[in-house]
């Protein structure tokens, strides 16, 4: 089983998600943990679309086996993935939805009907600063 997202990293993602009404998005790398934000190029506030060039750049790092997952926020919203999130979630990577109250990990699978379904893996509730394990999250653009 994969290791859970450290609380300090979850807290940092929540901090980022509170910076405005637009969804934030990016990749999470492990060993050591690192957040790499990707520009959201979706035309509206209620969705996210990762910048293609920045995404391709980060996929090159996937070869090193450090890329563990994708994150994006639902500012002021629910921690459940939307239908669009479920349809477009990448295969083979972990998937986190960030809200004001939790960072929630989901996994997806195909149904015999051709539809995908979402399954809750883990939720890291909001932890006030100063509590939890200290982790150097290496957050930054990574570009």
Q: What is the pLDDT of residues 94-121, one digit of tens each?
A: 899 998 888 899 988 766 666 677 887 8
Residue where the block lists tokens 């957040």: 35
Which two tokens mark 77?
A: 């919203």
Residue pair 36/140 in contact by the 8 Å Cβ criterion: yes
> Is the Cβ–Cβ distance between 97 and 104 less than 8 Å?
yes
Kindly report, residue by residue over 6-54, the tens digit of the pLDDT. 888 888 888 888 878 889 999 999 888 889 999 999 998 888 899 999 9
């Amino acid at each position: 089983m994969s290791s859970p997202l450290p609380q300090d990293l979850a807290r940092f993602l929540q901090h980022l998600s509170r910076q405005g009404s637009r969804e934030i998005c990016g990749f999470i790398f492990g060993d050591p943990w690192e957040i790499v934000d990707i520009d959201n190029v979706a035309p509206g506030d209620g969705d996210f679309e990762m910048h293609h060039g920045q995404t391709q750049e980060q996929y090159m790092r996937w070869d090193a086996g450090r890329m563990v997952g994708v994150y994006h926020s639902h500012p002021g919203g629910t921690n459940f993935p939307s239908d669009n999130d479920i349809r477009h979630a990448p295969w083979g990577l972990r998937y986190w939805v960030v809200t004001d109250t939790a960072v929630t990990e989901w996994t997806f699978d195909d149904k015999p009907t051709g539809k995908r379904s979402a399954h809750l893996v883990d939720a890291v509730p909001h932890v006030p600063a100063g509590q939890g394990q200290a982790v150097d999250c290496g957050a930054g653009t990574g570009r």
